[in-house]
Amino acid sequence: MMFETWWLLALPLVFGLGWMAARFDLRQLMSEQGALPRSYFKGLNFLLNEQPDKAIDAFVEVARLDPETTELHFALGALFRRRGETERAIRVHQNLATRPDLPESEREHALYELGQDFLRAGLLDRAEESLRRLMSGPYAASAKRVLLELYEVEKEWSKAIDAARELQTLDQKDYRVQIAQFCCELAQDALQKKKPDEAVEWLRRAREENPASVRAPILLGDVAAAAGDQTGALQHWLGIESQDAAYLPLVADRVVKAYATLGEQGKALQWLRELLTTKLAPELLDTAYRTELEANGPVAATALMREQLRRQPTLLALTRYFEAQAAESQALQTAGANGEAPADADVATAEPDDQTKETAAIRDLLQLRTRNLARYTCRECGFRARLFYWQCPGCNRWETYAPRRSEALG
C-alpha cells in the first residue's frame, strides 16, 4: 500500500482536537465542582465523621440554596423518616410531589416516599391515598408491597388478600402462605362473631391456597367444638399429627378439654403419656402434669415427673417435680391434721411441716428461675415471646415461629 503524504498533515490535527476536548472536559468538571456550595462538602465531612445531626443541617442548607437538587431532597426525606422525624419527611416529599416542573417519574417517586412517610406516622388513610395513585408504572409493585403491609396493620384482611394476589402476578413470587393466613384471620373473626358457616368457608379457601396450613385444621376443630361436636373437633386436632406433629402442643389443652367433655379423660392421659416419650415432651410437660394432677393426685403427678426426669431431664421437669412434691407434702400435712391418711400416700412423714417448707422453698426457687426461661423464637429476626404467634410481632412475617420453645439461659 502506497504511503499517503497527506496523513502527515492529518495526524497533528487529530492530536490537537483531542487536546482541546480534554481541556474542555477538565474545565467543565472544575466549574461544576466550584458551583457546589461549601455546605455540601461540610455535610459530607460530617457524615464521614459520624455526625449525622450536623450533616443533616448542612444538607438542609444546600437544599435551601439550590432547590433544584431533587436527589438531595429525596435523601433528606429518607434520613428524616429513618430518624423518626416523619413530619419533616412529609414536608420534604410533599414539596417535591407538588412541584410543577418535576418529571413524572420523580413525581411518582415522591408519592411513593410520601406513602411510606404517612405509614410510619400512623396516618394510614393518607398513606393508602398516596400509594393508590401508583397502581401502574415503575413504582406499582413497590407501592402494592407497602399497601399489603398497611392492610396487615389495619387488619383489612380481604384487601390484603387482593393485594397479595396482585403481587403474585407482578413479582412472580409465592404469596400462598400469607393468603392462607389472611383467610384464617377472617375465619377467626367470623368464629368470634358466631358465624360458623362463614368461618368454615374461609378455612376451606385457606386449605386451597396452602394445603400444608396447620392453622386451618386447628380452627376447624375450634368451629366443631363451638358447635358441641367434640368428636369432630378431636378428629381435626389429632389429625395434625400426620400433617406436622410438631404443632400438636398447640392443641394439647384443647384435646384434653374435649376428652374431658366426652367423659374420657383417661384417653387424654394415655395420649399425653405416649407423647412424653417423644421429642415433643418439653412442650407437653405442663399439660401432662396438670392433667395427671387433676385426675390422679399429687403422688401420681410426682411419679410422672420423676419418670420424665429420668427420660429427658430439663429444668421445667424438675420444677414440676418439686411442685408435685410440695402438693403431696401439703396433702399429707392436711390429712395428718384431720387424723387421716391420703389414699394415694405410700409413706407417711414424721415431720410434715418441715418437709412442706423445704420442698416449697425449692419449688419457689425453681419457679423463679424458670419463669421466663422457655420462649418461642422467630427464625427470621430472633424475636422471643412467651406466646406462640402466627405472625411475628418483631418482623411481621408469617409462620416464622417454630412451635417448640427453647430453654435459653440468656
Instruction: Give pLDDT tens digits for 361-408.
Output: 666 666 666 665 567 888 888 888 888 899 988 888 998 988 877 654
- Across the chain, mean pLDDT equals 78
List the CATH number of the domain containing 178.
1.25.40.10
Could you tell me if residue 56 is inside a domain? no
Could you tell me if residue 300 is inside a domain? yes
Do 178 and 251 share a domain, yes or no?
A: yes
- Give the annotated binding-site residues for Fe cation: 378, 381, 392, 395
Among 173, 203, 221, give the residue marking a domain's end. 173
Do 153 and 195 share a domain, yes or no?
A: no
Q: In what order do the strands lie in the sheet with 406-407?
A: 384-385, 374-377, 406-407
Q: What is the pLDDT of residue 238?
A: 96
Among 242, 263, 284, give the residue marking a domain's end. 263
Distance of CA 121 to the CA centre of its chain: 20
Do 142 and 204 share a domain, yes or no?
A: no
Do 131 and 200 share a domain, yes or no?
A: no
Do 253 and 284 share a domain, yes or no?
A: no
- Residue written as cell 502506497? 2
Distance of CA 211 to the CA centre of its chain: 22
Q: 201 Cβ partners below 8 Å, 6+ apart?
A: none
Could you tell me if residue 137 is inside a domain? yes
Could you tell me if residue 15 is inside a domain? no
Do 158 and 84 share a domain, yes or no?
A: yes
Do 365 and 390 share a domain, yes or no?
A: no
Count of domains observed in the chain: 4
Do 101 and 163 share a domain, yes or no?
A: yes
Count of beta carbons in the 10 Å neighbourhood of residue 121: 16
Could you tell me if residue 74 is inside a domain? yes
Do 195 and 165 share a domain, yes or no?
A: no
Q: What is the pLDDT of residue 170?
A: 80
Instruction: Give pLDDT tens digits for 17-73.
Output: 454 544 444 344 334 444 455 554 455 554 445 555 555 555 555 545 455 567 767
Do 231 and 299 share a domain, yes or no?
A: no
Among 263, 297, 325, give the residue marking a domain's end. 263
In whole angstroms, what is the distance from residue 321 CA to residue 308 CA? 9
Tell me the residue type at 14: V
The low-confidence residues of the chain, meaning pLDDT below 50, are: 1-3, 6-7, 10-11, 14, 17, 19, 21-35, 40-41, 46-48, 63, 65, 345-352, 408-410
Any idea what DSSP says for residue 245?
A: G
Could you tell me if residue 141 is inside a domain? yes
Which structural domain range is residue 382 located in? 374-409
- Give the annotated binding-site residues: 378, 381, 392, 395
Residue 51 main-chain phi, psi, to 5 deg: -125, 75
Q: What is the pLDDT of residue 27?
A: 43
Q: Is the distance from CB of 63 to CB of 72 less than 8 angstroms?
A: yes
Do 145 and 240 share a domain, yes or no?
A: no
Q: What is the pLDDT of residue 49?
A: 53
Do 291 and 378 share a domain, yes or no?
A: no
**pTM, entire model:** 0.72
Q: Is the distance from CB of 332 to CB of 297 less than 8 angstroms?
A: no
Torsion angle, alpha carbons of 253, 258, 261, 266, to 10: -80
Of residues 306, 342, 350, 341, the one with CA closest to residue 324:
306
Could you tell me if residue 208 is inside a domain? yes
Could you tell me if residue 42 is inside a domain? no
